[in-house]
Amino acid sequence: MTKRKRIFLNAITHAGVAPAPGLWAHPDDQGHRFGTLGYWTELAKTLERGRFDALFLADMLGVPDVYEGSRDAAIRQAIQIPLNDPGYLVPAMAAVTEHLGFAVTYSTTYEHPYALARKLSTLDHLTKGRIGWNIVTSALTSAALNFGLSEQMDKTERYDRADEYMEVAYKLWQKSWERDAVVADRERNVYADPSKVRDIGHEGRYFRVPGIHLSEPSPQRTPVLFQAGNSERGREFAAKHAESIYINTPTIEATKAIVADIRRRAERYGRDPSRILFYPKLTPIMARTETEAQSKYEDYLRYSSAEGVLALFGAWSGIDFAKAGPEKLREFVRKFDTRGTMARIESEDPEKRWTTQELANFCAFGTSSLQIGTPERIADEIELYVRETGVDGFSIGQIVQPGTIRDFVDLVVPELQRRGLVQKEYAEGTYRDKLFGEGPYLSVDHPGARV
């Protein structure tokens, strides 16, 4: 019998109110508690009980302001605003867990590498090696303006700058302090050996960093490296740097294509493509019976906000769907009709005229794969997706917080464990150790290790 592939599980959320537009108003949603430590420590303990590998904390530095040329819709519907800094949540969650990893989003466009290297080393120390970094370049014009730029950098320059940013970060994490630099010799009164702490002497197009890293080497030295860019330039960056990749492709075919493409590119950089893990997003609605699951979906849909969905679409695409017209919106939504519902309706009624509300309902809970059903059915879909696409796990999205995650832990995880697909107990070691089983540091074929 062929051994089944071990599936990794991340939860995905952000330090804000609502993961799905409008659902903050649902009576079961607790997102309004996002500003309290208790909310996050409860979530972390639930995830560790469910043997999740990590919590992926998304982030955005600007405000969605494309829809109707205004930020008002985003503010009304809590679309990525208000939004707190995710990094400050991690120590509290780490204090109540032992194994759960944390992937935190920080931007190479607006964070300086000298400062960010220290932040992430600090978090890696405090969590005993459970930190990952989701590397983003930030695409919103509103962010650029608030950081003092007159306009957004184009994508090519953002990624060129990010490549040099990574060079600086690798030098700080990997090169500045030798592994045995800290001697803590009380008799000689020497904490660290100065001969084993080096200036990195970086002089580049975008950055000048002459000195040493401010932190001594953390358990992983370099955090586990995540990336989420699906563009041509983003894929090239991921192939060079990423160890884990978050993807939001809506179909098996699209997912299979991007996984194969990035793994081919990674080989050109001399990397082992099997050491790059892929996590598509999955948003589940689950219950003991199909009828109950469908009823939950219909209940959630009543709270969905078309205005909020369009504000989110505008931020992603740069298209103001208030002006673009229903046909343009239909074209955009069709790409994300993962369940084939639009195609089925249109085959039955070729003259169907869609309302904005109907179109928004198709992506009410995001553009990722939406699965509705019993634990057995959702486990079947997970297993099929892994088999057909070559992905390594999933980032589980929420509709109501924390109810979606709690239901997944209580209903779906036991079924996946019964099938031998997800872990029943955690392995020892750092986050990277748990993912790859080869120690806490970057693999020798990674460009960061070659520094």
CA dist 336 to 15, 23, 200, 307, 332, Å?
A: 25, 20, 46, 18, 8
DSSP 154: P
pLDDT tens digit string along 126-138? 999 999 999 999 8
Task: Report CA-CA distances (Å) from 196 to 15, 42, 172, 385.
Answer: 39, 42, 13, 48
Give the residue among 41, 131, 57, 228 at the shortest CA–CA distance from 431.
Answer: 131
CA atoms of 72 and 439, how far apart (whole Å): 48
How confident is the model over 389-415, as a mean pLDDT? 96
Distance CA 196, CA 137 (A): 33
Q: Express each pLDDT in 217-261 by its tens digit.
A: 999 999 999 998 778 899 999 999 999 999 988 788 889 999 999
Coil/strand/helix, residue 401: coil
337: confidence class by pLDDT, cuts 50, 70, 90: low
**Cβ atoms within 10 A of the Cβ of 321, count?**
24
Burial zone of 154 (CB within 10 Å; 0-12 exposed, 13-18 middle, 19+ buried) = exposed
Mean pLDDT across the chain, nearest whole number? 92
Give Rg (Cα) of the chain: 22
Which pLDDT score is estimated for 141?
87
pLDDT tier for residue 165 given thresholds of 50, 70 and 90: very high
- The H or E element containing residue 182 is strand 182-185
Q: List for the chain the helix, strand, coil content (%; round to 5).
A: 45, 15, 40
Task: Flag the least confident range among 2-11, 219-228, 387-396.
Answer: 2-11
- pLDDT value of position 338: 61
Statement: residue 114 has pLDDT above 80 = yes
**Confidence category of residue 87, pLDDT binned at 50, 70, 90:** very high
Q: Which residue has the tokens 């120590």?
A: 91
Of 151-160, 354-363, 428-437, the range with the highest mean pLDDT is 428-437
* Distance between CA atoms of residues 396 and 9, nearest Å: 7
Q: How many C-beta neighbours within 10 Å does residue 262 have?
A: 23
How many Å apart are CA 389 and CA 304, to the nearest integer?
Answer: 31
Closest to 338 in 3D by CA, of 276, 414, 254, 258 = 254
Architecture of domain 8-293+367-450: Alpha-Beta Barrel (3.20)
Instruction: Inform me whether the pLDDT recorded for 191 exceeds 90.
Output: yes
H or E, element range at 95: helix 90-95
Vertex 336 angle, CA 331 and 338, to 5°: 130
Contact 441, 431 (CB under 8 A): no
pLDDT band at 1 (very low <50, low <70, confident <90, very high): very low
What's 253-305 look like in SS3?
HHHHHHHHHHHHHHHHCCCCHHHCEEEEEEEEEECCCHHHHHHHHHHHHHHCC
If you write DSSP's letter for every residue of 34-60 in order, what string do you get? TTSHHHHHHHHHHHHHTT-SEEEEE--
Cα distance between residue 445 and residue 451, in whole Å: 11
- The number of beta carbons lying within 10 Å of the beta carbon of residue 179 is 9
DSSP 409: I
Mean per-residue pLDDT for 285-294? 97
Amino acid at the residue 189: N
In terms of Cα–Cα distance, which of 92, 84, 94, 100 is closest to 34? Answer: 84
Q: Which amino acid is at 304?
A: S
Q: Of how many residues is the chain composed?
A: 451
Return d(Cα 254, Cα 249) in angstroms, integer.
6
For residue 217, how many C-alpha atoms fall within 13 Å in the half-sphere facing its CB?
22
Q: If pLDDT is split at 50, 70 and 90, which confidence band does 115 have?
A: very high
* Lowest-confidence pick of 62-71, 213-222, 328-337: 328-337
pLDDT digits (tens, 9 = 90+) for 12-37: 999 999 788 999 999 999 999 999 99
From the number of C-beta atoms within 10 Å of its C-beta (0-12, 13-18, 19+), residue 305 rates as buried
The whole-number pLDDT of residue 363 equals: 76
Q: Supply φ then ψ for residue 369, to 5 degrees.
A: -65, 125
196 band by pLDDT with thresholds 50, 70 and 90: very high
Is the pLDDT at 3 greater than 70? The verdict is: no
- Lowest-confidence range among 250-254, 261-265, 340-344? 340-344
Q: How far apart are the first and last CA of the chain?
A: 43
Listed residue (87, 73, 69) closest to 133, CA to CA = 87
- Tens-digit pLDDT profile for residues 92-113: 999 999 999 999 999 999 999 9
Q: Where are the domains of the chain?
A: 8-293+367-450
Q: Is 19 helix (H, G, I), strand (E, B) or coil?
A: coil
Specify which of 222-231, 330-339, 365-374 reaches the highest per-range mean pLDDT.
222-231
d(CA 378, CA 333): 23
Task: Report the relative pairing of strands 224-227 and 131-136 from DSSP bridges.
Answer: parallel
Q: What is the percent of the chain where pLDDT is above 70?
A: 97
pLDDT of residue 355: 78
Q: Which pLDDT value is given to residue 254?
A: 85
pTM, full prediction? 0.93
The tokens describing 84, both together, are 């707190």
